[in-house]
Structure formats: structure tokens, C-alpha cells
Structure 1
Amino acid sequence: MTYLLLWIVTFIAFTPIDAAEFKIKPKDIRITINQQATFNLTLDEDIKVPVNVSFDIPHPDLLKIEPKYLIYQKKSQVMIKVFGINPGSLVVSANVTPANQTIFTQAFVRVTIEKSDTLYHISNIVGWIYFLAWSISFYPQIYSNYKRKSVVGLNFDFVSLNIVGFLMYGLFNCGLYWIPEIEEEYFNRNPKGLNPVQLNDIFFSLHAFAATAFTIAQCFIYETGDQRVSTTARIIHGIFTTIILVSVILSIINYLTWLDFLYYCSYVKLAITLIKYVPQAYYNYQRKSTVGWSIGNIFLDFTGGMLSMLQMILNAYNYDDWWSIIGDPTKFGLGFFSVSFDIFFLIQHYALYRHNEEKVIDIKG
């Protein structure tokens, strides 16, 4: 009986009596060092007993807040000032005591302090340039195929892996951006995070898939020589297909969430990005020629990869966040890996096989 009474008292003490909620707007603030900005902390309804509000600053060496402490009881809105001290990023959360009268899960703000606003805009420009470079990079190969009325020289393993990779990338982006239930699951796991998918990610992945599909259509129309998708590539496709089908089944029976399924799609895309250039490089070596493999595509891909890494370095310097490269090397590593292959293709084209002509004999894939 004593335990029952204790449970009831505890339940009453920690259950919200009113539906009053603390909220912070805006959710994102960007300032430079020694700059000031503001956000609003709002209580949307009156409460019975005054509550104390303080702010949890994970890195007080980066940011200063005024006022640090507040007392609320009536419905009101207070403007809070933030001052940038050192570069970095952090999430500032409101703590409320006693906590039983209010909801404050949305009472947080993401603050980014940068060294230079100019670097921020340069980084954005670099980002748009590499986005355009990667988007345009599909067309030199398409034009080369059309002009030659042949796809001899374009490795079919590369193309087949490419379209699967962009399909997986498109599924991940569209699912996380357009399906509310999946986005909600993401925010349940990352309550103070941002959706990592932006509209330009949607455009790039769908455009890349469509351009690659068009290239595959050219493979059915134009001269192909003796090329085919290799047995090795077929086995790899079988492994990826098995992974995706098992993930779909496990998601249907609720063993996995659909968000987990999208993560598996992204892992397949990651694996494909690591291996997709190998067949084309080996194919060029077999033929001792790069005829049919558009060098314009390589220049644009190289430009996009270099600028992608440059943007990461600019951001790491501007926010003093080198851990974004060292601690999570995937994006930087993929960019470096792609650029390395682009350099190898340039060497093949301009040094190793630059005297070879169209008459080169095709090698079976």
C-alpha cells in the first residue's frame, strides 16, 4: 500500500497539470565572433506556480547568454540575447524547474558561431558550383554516345552500378524529405537535429538517375561491340538486391523501421560509390584506350569532387570544427576517392593511351 501511495504521489508530481508549453523561435541562429543575435522564449499559457528557467550551454566558451535565468508564471514572451565568443556550433536548451507544469521539449535553439561571414558566403557559392558541375557531368558522355552512335568504350558494369547507386540515393532522399512518418522517426532519434536532406539533394539524385537511365537507353540503341555486364557485376548486383529485399521484408513486418530501410539504401549507395570506377579503369587498361569514355565527364566530376572537399575544409576552418572531417571521414573520403580515380582517368587519357585511335579492338566485359 505504501508503494502504491508513493507511486501515485510521484505520478502526480511529474505529470503536467496544464498544457502550457515553452517554445523558442527561431530554431537556428548564425552569428560571427563578437556578434549579437536574439531569440524569443515563449510560454503559451498561464501556470499555477512560478517556474525557474535556465539555459543549458554545452560549451560556455563558445557562447554567452543574457539573461541566464528567468521566472515565468503568466503567458509571456521574452527576448534572449546571445553573444558569439569562439567559433563552433552547439544546441542551447531551456531547463525548467519544477518541470511538472510545462512541456519544454521544443525549447531549444541551434547556434552556429563562425569566424567570417564572407567565408560562409564563399562556401555557399562553392557548394552551388560543385552541385552544378556534378549535375552537368552526365551530359558529355551522353553527347559523345550520340555523336559516335556507339557506346563502345563505356563500361557496362560502371553504368549498371551507377543507376543502382542513384536509385538508392533517390529513395533515401525522397523518403526522408517527403514521407512525414519517416521524417518523424528521424526527429524522434535526433530531436534537436536538422533533416539532412535538402531540396537540391532531391533534384540531384532524381536528375542523376534519369540521366543514367538515358545513357542505358543509348546502350540499347547504339553500337555496343561485344560488351555486356560482367559476371562479377551480376554477383554484386545480386548481393545488393538481396540486402534491399531482406530490408524491405523486415520493414514490412516491423522488425526494422522504414528509416532503417533508407539507411540500408544509403549504405548500398556508399558501397557502389567506392567500387563503381574500378570496372571502367580496368576496361580502359584492357583496351589500352579511353576512346568512348568522355573526358568531359571526368573534368566535371573532378571539379565537383575538389570543390566538395574545399567546401568541407572552408566550413571546418570557419566553425573551428575539424572533427567534421576527422571524426566523420565518409563524405571527405568519398570525395577524395572519386578525385583520385578522376586523376587516374586523366593520366590514362592524356599520358598512357593518348595516341590510340578509334580502331582499338573492343574487349568483352
Structure 2
Amino acid sequence: MLEPDRCAAVLAVQPSAEATADVLAPELAPEGFACLTVYSVALYASPTVRAQYAERHAGHFPQVQPNDIAFAGHALVLSLVILSQTLVYKRGVQHQLSRFHRTVILLILSTIAIALLLAWSGWLIWLDFIILLSLLKLYVTAAKMVPQAWYNYQRKSTVGWSIENVVMDMTGGILSLIQLVIDSVLDHDWRGITGNPGKLGLSFLALGFDTLFLIQHFVLYRGAEHEDESEVAVAADPERDRLIPPAAAV
């Protein structure tokens, strides 16, 4: 499954800083991929979690493969690299985290902390704690896709956006779903599909939103005019105002 980091794959040229802050803010991705990494590793390698899963699913084990761990870990490392770059290089206003998502991140971390305490105290089984992490990852992914789809609608354009990332993401979502179905069929356990909400949910999010993005790009806003990237970049960051107006520079 390929889910390109939406912090890097969204519109490279965007005129409104406020409209896209939630999409571009790089703090969202590491949090989500950290949840996905722990979720995948636990379902694949934790004897406790796997035993609890088998007890709940008539003796069957989770449909998680090494490539699921590799994907999550790889994405986590890259998203952390991108986040670290914002600490070194100058960060434009269009890359700032909104107050709303600051609050959401705090709530997510608080939820994880509370659930962790409940699991340690025995009030919550570890399997349910792991599933909670996958649901938090699904929220983070949706939180990055919804603003992009809405912003495309507002602009009536997808100019400046790498559609190749969307195609790769959709391809990964399809292949991931196919793998999940095949693994469940071979294990004679159809519940194995719904028993992996993280993988299933990410596949459906990829298929749903990427289909919408492709329709926006190739059908709805196909004839949108190209914008001047340098002018739009200046409009998005007030600190990049020109010293000489464009007309005077000609």
C-alpha cells in the first residue's frame, strides 16, 4: 500500500495560506505513521496481541505481512525527516499547523496516554488499544485528504499538484486491498478482512479520495488555466514580497 505523505504531495503552488495550513502542516504525518507502525508490529509480532486476536476470531491470526510493517516504518522515517527539515530551514506561513489541529493532536496524544494506562491496568485489552491506534491513523489520513479535496473544489483547479502521487497512492490502495482479501481467503477466514481495520480503512480511504482527486483533475477542472507559480508563491508567503513590482522589473 502506497500512501504518499500528503504533507509533501499536496499542491506545490497554493495562493491561500489559511486554506491549506491543515494539509501542509508536517506534524500530522509522523503521528499517524507512528500509530500505524506500532499497530502493524504488534499484530505481526506480539504474542499477547495475537493471542487476544485469535481468541476473538475463532483461532485465526491477524492478516498482517512484513510489507505492512515495512510500509509503515518507511513512511514514519520519511515523515520525520520532513518534519526535521522544518526545524532547520525557514518555514513559510502556509506550512503552519492550525489551532484546530494543534488541539486535535493534543487530544490524540491524551487519548493514547489514557488508553495505555487502561491497558496496563487491565481495564482494556492490548488488542483494543492497538485497534485504537489504527483508528487514530485513519483520522490523520482523512484530516489531510478532506482539506485538499475541498481546496481543489474552491479553486476549481488542481494546477500545480502532482497527480502522479495520487495514481501511486491509488495503485497501492488497490494492491493492499487485494492482498488482504487473498490472505483471508487462503486462511479461510473472511473476518480477517474486517479484523485489520487499519489496512482495510487506509485502502478504502485511498480508493475513495484518490478517485475523487482523479475526477477533479481529469474531468471537473481539466481546463483550468495554469497559474504563475512565482506569483502564487509570493502571495502565499508575505515574507517573500518582491522588492521590485513585476511591472517595473520588465
- TM-score tier, shorter chain, comes to 0.5 to 0.7
Q: Using the alignment, how far apart are the partners of 2:88 and 2:159 within structure 1?
A: 19
Answer with 1 or 2: which has the greater Rg.
Answer: 1
Given that residues 348 and 354 in structure 1 are in contact (C-alpha distance below 8 angstroms), is that contact kept between their aligned partners in structure 2?
no
Match of 1:355 in 2: 226
Given that residues 286 and 363 in structure 1 are in contact (C-alpha distance below 8 angstroms), is that contact kept between their aligned partners in structure 2?
no
Match of 1:219 in 2: 86
Given that residues 170 and 210 in structure 2 are in contact (C-alpha distance below 8 angstroms), is that contact kept between their aligned partners in structure 1?
yes
Given that residues 309 and 335 in structure 1 are in contact (C-alpha distance below 8 angstroms), is that contact kept between their aligned partners in structure 2?
yes
Match of 1:178 in 2: 45
Match of 2:118 in 1: 250
CA offsets, 1:247-270, max 9 Å, x none?
011122221122221121122123
Q: Using the alignment, how far apart are the partners of 1:294 and 1:210 within structure 2?
A: 22
Question: 1:112-261 residue pairs with structure 2 within 5 A?
Answer: 131=1, 134=2, 137=4, 141=8, 155=20, 157-158=22-23, 159-190=26-57, 192-222=59-89, 224-227=91-94, 228-261=96-129
Partner of 1:276, secondary structure, is: helix
Given that residues 175 and 182 in structure 1 are in contact (C-alpha distance below 8 angstroms), is that contact kept between their aligned partners in structure 2?
yes
Shift of the 229–138 alpha-carbon distance from structure 1 to 2, 3 Å rule, reads: closer
Q: Using the alignment, how far apart are the partners of 1:332 and 1:180 within structure 2?
A: 22
Q: Using the alignment, how far apart are the partners of 1:325 and 1:251 within structure 2?
A: 23
5+ long unaligned stretches in structure 2: 239-250
Q: Using the alignment, how far apart are the partners of 2:47 and 2:236 within structure 1?
A: 49
Partner of 2:93, secondary structure, is: coil
Equivalent pairs, count: 222
Shift of the 284–217 alpha-carbon distance from structure 1 to 2, 3 Å rule, reads: farther
CA offsets, 1:65-109, max 9 Å, x none?
xxxxxxxxxxxxxxxxxxxxxxxxxxxxxxxxxxxxxxxxxxxxx
Give the TM-score of the pair, scaled to structure 2. Answer: 0.67
Match of 2:242 in 1: none
Q: Using the alignment, how far apart are the partners of 1:288 and 1:251 within structure 2?
A: 47
Shift of 1:162: 2.7
Question: 1:312-327 residue pairs with structure 2 within 5 A?
Answer: none
Q: Using the alignment, how far apart are the partners of 2:208 and 2:47 within structure 1?
A: 39
Match of 1:275 in 2: 143
Q: Using the alignment, how far apart are the partners of 1:196 and 1:312 within structure 2?
A: 7
Q: Is 1:263 aligned to 2:131, yes or no?
A: yes
Match of 2:243 in 1: none
Q: Using the alignment, how far apart are the partners of 2:126 and 2:200 within structure 1?
A: 27
Match of 1:33 in 2: none
CA offsets, 1:188-219, max 9 Å, x none?
44452023322111111111111222222333
Shift of 1:347: 4.8
Give the TM-score of the pair, scaled to structure 1. Answer: 0.49
Q: Using the alignment, how far apart are the partners of 1:154 and 1:217 within structure 2?
A: 24
RMSD: 4.2
Shift of 1:157: 2.8
Shift of the 252–315 alpha-carbon distance from structure 1 to 2, 3 Å rule, reads: closer
Given that residues 36 and 72 in structure 2 are in contact (C-alpha distance below 8 angstroms), is that contact kept between their aligned partners in structure 1?
yes
1:300 pairs with one of 168, 179, 188: 168
Q: Using the alignment, how far apart are the partners of 1:362 and 1:237 within structure 2?
A: 25
Shift of 1:187: 3.2
5+ long unaligned stretches in structure 1: 1-130
